[in-house]
Chain A
Amino acid sequence: MDRREAIKRTAWIMGGVVSAPAIMGVLKGCAAKPSIDWKPVFLSEDQSILVSEVAEIIIPKTDTPGAKETGVPSFIDLMLKDVYSKEDQDHFLAGLKEFDAAAEKEHGDPFIELSPEIQMAFVKKTHDAAVEAERATTPAPKRPFILMAKELTMLGFFTSEPGATKVLQYIAVPGAYKGCIPLSEAGNGKTWAT
C-alpha cells in the first residue's frame, strides 16, 4: 500500500479529513505529484510528467531558462508523435517504462513521486551508465530512453529562442564572414547556435 493511501485510511479511522498541507508535512521525503501545464498529444499525462522532470534535470533553470520554461517537454511529445517512426516511438515508450520500473524498484515509488534529490541522482546514475555503455560498444546500440530523452531535450532547448540566444549565441543576419579570428572576437565568445 502506498503512503498516501495509508494516511487516507488513518484519517478516516481518526474521524477527520487530513488536509493536503498536513499530508505534505507528514510525508517528508515524498514529493507532491508534479503536474504539467500543457496538453500532450502522444504521451499519457504521467509519461509527460516523467519526461518533463527528466528534461528539467538535464537542462535545469539556472540563471538562464531551463527545459520546462522553454516548452521542451511539449516539444518532445510532438516530436515523438510526428517525427519518430513507430519503431522509435515504441522503443522510447518501452525504455520509459523500464526507467520508471527501475526507479520504483530502487526507491519504492514511481519516478514522478520521488523527491527532486532522488530523481536527480537516479537520472545521473542511469545517464552515466548509458554513456559508458555507448562508448564501450561498437557499433553503438540503439540509444536507451535516457539518452533519447537527453537528445530530444537538447534538440528542443538549443533550437529554442532562449537556448539559442541566451545560453549559446545566435545572429540572424551576420552580414560578414570572418574565417580565422580569436575566440574573444567571435561575437561574445560562446558557441554559435547554428
Chain B
Amino acid sequence: MNLNIDAQQQNTFDAIVVGTGISGGWAAKELTEYGLKTLVLERGRMVTHPDYPTATKDPWDFPNAGRPTQEDLKQQGVQARTGYTIQQATKHWFVNDLENPYTEVKRFDWMRGYHVGGRSITWGRQSYRLSDMDFEANAKDGIAVDWPVRYKEIAPWYDYVESFIGVSGQAEGLPQLPDGKFLPPMELNCVELDLKKAIKDKFGRLLTIGRTAHATAPLPHSPQRGTCQYRNLCSRGCPYGGYFSSVSSTLPAAEKTKRMTLRPNSIVYEVIYDEAKGKATGVKVLDAETGEHVEYFAKIIFLCASTFGSTFILLNSISNRFPNGLGNDSGVLGHNIMDHHLSVGAGGEIDGFEDQYYSGRRANGVYIPRYRNVGKDKRDYLRGFGYQGGASRQGWSTLVAEMNIGADLKDAVTKPGKWSIGLTGFGEILPYHENFVVLNKDKKDKYGLPTLTFDAILRDNELKMRKDMAADAAEMLESAGFKNIKTYDREIGVGLGIHEMGTARMGKDPKTSVLNKWNQIHACKNVFVTDGSFMTSAACHNPSLGYMAFTARAVEYAVGESKMGNI
C-alpha cells in the first residue's frame, strides 16, 4: 500500500476555493452546484449560521455600554481606526493587530476578519452595479488599462446574483447606476423625502433609498433565511438571515450539494506551480491550529482570499517561471491599489417636522448617485463620488450639552429631539502604479509567514474631488432649508473605505495585467482570482456585488474550459 498516493488522492479535489467571504462563498456554491468536488479553505475559525455570539443582546447586556476598553484598543488598534469596528458587540469579527501586523509606509488602514464568512458578516451591504461609464473610464481618460469587459456581458450575472442574495432597492432608470432585480425598497423618512424633493427641484439630482442586500421579502430558494427585522445590528451577524452573508446564504447552498469540504483554520500561503505542466496543481496550507503543513491538489483553483489575501499568495508563489510571483509577467502584481476615499461631507439640522418620526431601525440610508463628470458636467478632476447618509431625530446624547438636569432632564429626553442629517461622500480613487503593496520577508507574522508592506496615498485627483464632496453636500442641505450646516474633510489613509481593490487587475494585454476578462491568470490558466484584486478601476460605489457577479461568471467559464480540456 502506497501511503503517499493514498494521501495525495485524499487531498485531491476537482476544485479548490481559497477564502469564504463575499467571493469565496459564491465560488463554493457555483463550483459545487456544477458538480465539482470542491475543497473550500478558510484561514480563520469556523462560523455557522445562526451562531453569532452577540446578535440578540440588548444594550444593557454589554459591559461599558458596549465601548471598547483600553486593552481592546491595544490589541486591535488598527481595526479601531474606523471608530466603529471595535465595539463589544463586533470586535470578535476583526483581527488581532498584534498577531497580524503589516507595515505602512504612509498611513494605510487594513481592516479584516479571519473566520468563515469573512467580511460578508460585517460588510455594509450596499450593492450597486458597475456601468459602462465605469468600464469605459480608463480608456476614455487614457489612464491605466482598459477593462476587458463591458456592462452587457456582466448584466446577466448581476441579475443572477441579485436574484439569489436578495437586494432591496428602488429602480430609477439612471444609466450611470443600472437598476437591479430589486426586492421592495426600504422607506425614506419624512426629512429625507423633503431633501429628495429639494435637490431634484434645485439641482436635478437624484436621492434614492440605498440599494442593500437585505431580504425585504422572503427568499424561497434560501429557506434557511428569513426577512429583515429592522434591528440594525447587522454587523453582529443576523440570526434571521435578514441580509446576505456567505454563512447564511451561499455556503448553505454549497453544503446542500454534499460536494463541499470546508476546512477552516487553513492558511493558504502558496499556489503549487508545476513548471513541466505549465499549470498550478494545488495549494500549500499551514494549519493555524496544529502548525502542520499540508498540500491539496485540484484542477481548478479559485483565489477568493480578499484583495490583499490573494495577492499575498500570488506574490509568495515563486518559481523559475514566475520569479516575481505567480502570474506576474507584467510586473503589475501588487500595484494599482484602489479604495474609495471618504470621511468628507456635511451635516446640518432642520426645524419643524416635530410631529413626525419613524419606527423600526432601518439598516440602510439614502444614496445620491454620482452626478459629477456625468453628461455635460465637467470638473477639474476625473471621475466622481456618491453620497450615503440619512436623517434622524436627535436622542439623549445631544442633551449632555444642554441645561437640563434632574427630573427636567428625564422629562426632556422623552421627547424626540431636533431632526439632523448627514451626507458622507464615497469618492473614486484612480489606479496609480505608485500605490502598491509588496511582500516583506523581514517581518513575519505569528505563523512565521511574510507580511505585507503598503505604500499608497491619495493624490491630486482625489484631493481636488474632496473639495466638491464637502461643498456640494453643504449646498444641497442648504437648498433644503437645513441650518447650522457643518462640512468636514478629515485626513485619512487609503484603506479606510474598506473597499480595497486592484493589485491583480484584469486587462486585455498580459504585458499590463494579471488576469484576462474571465478572471483567469493570463499565464496560468487554471487559476482564477475573483475577489477585489481583479478590479481595473474602482468606480465610486460599494464593489462587493460586482465580486459576486464576476465570480459566478468566472466559474461558469472555468467549468466549461475544464470540460473542453482547455485547463
Contacts and interface: CB of A to CB of B under 8 A. Distances in A.
B403 A175 contact: no
A175 B407 CA distance: 33
B405 to A, nearest CB: 5
Contact of A181 (B56, B64, B359): B359
B53 interface: no
B59 A57 contact: no
Contacts of B400: 147, 150-151, 154
Given A154-B399, A174-B359, A191-B416, A83 B407 contact: no
A58 B406 contact: yes
B405 A172 contact: no
Nearest to B407: A62
Nearest to A179: B187
A120 B414 CA distance: 22
Contacts of A156: 65
A69 interface: no
B231 A174 contact: yes
A168 interface: yes
A64 B413 CA distance: 13
Given A174-B360, A180-B189, A182-B355, A82 B403 contact: no
Nearest to A54: B405
B64 A79 contact: yes
Given A82-B69, A179-B190, A180-B187, A131 B401 contact: yes
Interface residues of A, number: 58
Given A175-B230, A190-B414, A83 B67 contact: yes
B405 A159 contact: no
A156 to B, nearest CB: 7
Interface string A161-194: 1001001101111111111111111110111111
A179 B357 CA distance: 7
B205 interface: no
A123 B402 CA distance: 14
Interface in B184-243: 186-190, 192-193, 229-232
A57 B405 contact: yes
Contact of A164 (B59, B70, B188, B189): B59
B190 A180 contact: yes
Interface residues on B, range: 35 or more
Interface in A39-73: 57-60, 62, 64
A7 interface: no
A142 to B, nearest CB: 14
Contact of B70 (A75, A85, A179): A85
Contacts of B396: 154, 158, 168, 191
A78 B399 CA distance: 23
A158 B356 CA distance: 22
A183 B357 contact: yes
Nearest to B227: A175
A150 B405 contact: yes
A176 B230 contact: yes
Given A59-B409, A174-B230, A183 B355 contact: yes
Interface string B407-439: 101100111110000000000000000000000
A190 B231 CA distance: 18
B411 to A, nearest CB: 8
Nearest to B59: A159
Contacts of B354: 183
A155 interface: yes
Interface string B343-359: 00000000000111111
A189 B71 CA distance: 40
A90 to B, nearest CB: 13
B63 interface: yes
Nearest to B216: A177
A84 B415 CA distance: 30
B66 interface: yes
B112 interface: no
B416 A178 contact: no
Nearest to A120: B406
A180 B193 contact: yes
A124 interface: yes
A177 B414 contact: no
A183 B358 CA distance: 8
A153 B358 CA distance: 27
Nearest to B67: A83
Contacts of B416: 183, 190-192
B203 to A, nearest CB: 22
A194 B361 contact: yes
A147 B403 CA distance: 11
B65 A172 contact: no
Contacts of A79: 64-65, 67
Contacts of B414: 167-168, 190-191
A78 B406 contact: no
B413 A158 contact: yes
A160 interface: yes
B157 to A, nearest CB: 30
A98 interface: no
Given A179-B190, A180-B188, A167 B413 contact: yes
A180 B519 CA distance: 45
B362 interface: yes
A135 B403 CA distance: 11
Contacts of B60: 159-161, 164
B187 A186 contact: no
Nearest to A184: B355
A64 B438 CA distance: 60
Contact of B405 (A127, A134, A187, A189): A127
A175 B360 contact: yes
Nearest to A164: B59
Contacts of B62: 159
Nearest to B393: A191
Interface in B24-71: 56, 58-60, 62-71
B274 to A, nearest CB: 54
A82 B64 contact: yes
A177 B358 contact: yes
A58 B400 CA distance: 10
24 contacts: A58-B406, A58-B409, A79-B67, A84-B70, A127-B405, A154-B399, A159-B62, A159-B65, A161-B58, A168-B395, A174-B229, A177-B362, A179-B186, A179-B189, A179-B192, A182-B355, A182-B357, A183-B416, A184-B355, A186-B358, A191-B393, A191-B414, A192-B416, A194-B232
Given A158-B413, A183-B354, 8 more contacts: A79-B67, A82-B71, A131-B402, A158-B396, A164-B58, A167-B414, A168-B396, A183-B356
Across the A-B interface, give the 9 residue pairs with the lowest CB-CB distance, nearest first.
A179-B187, A177-B360, A174-B360, A186-B357, A180-B190, A82-B69, A179-B189, A159-B59, A177-B230
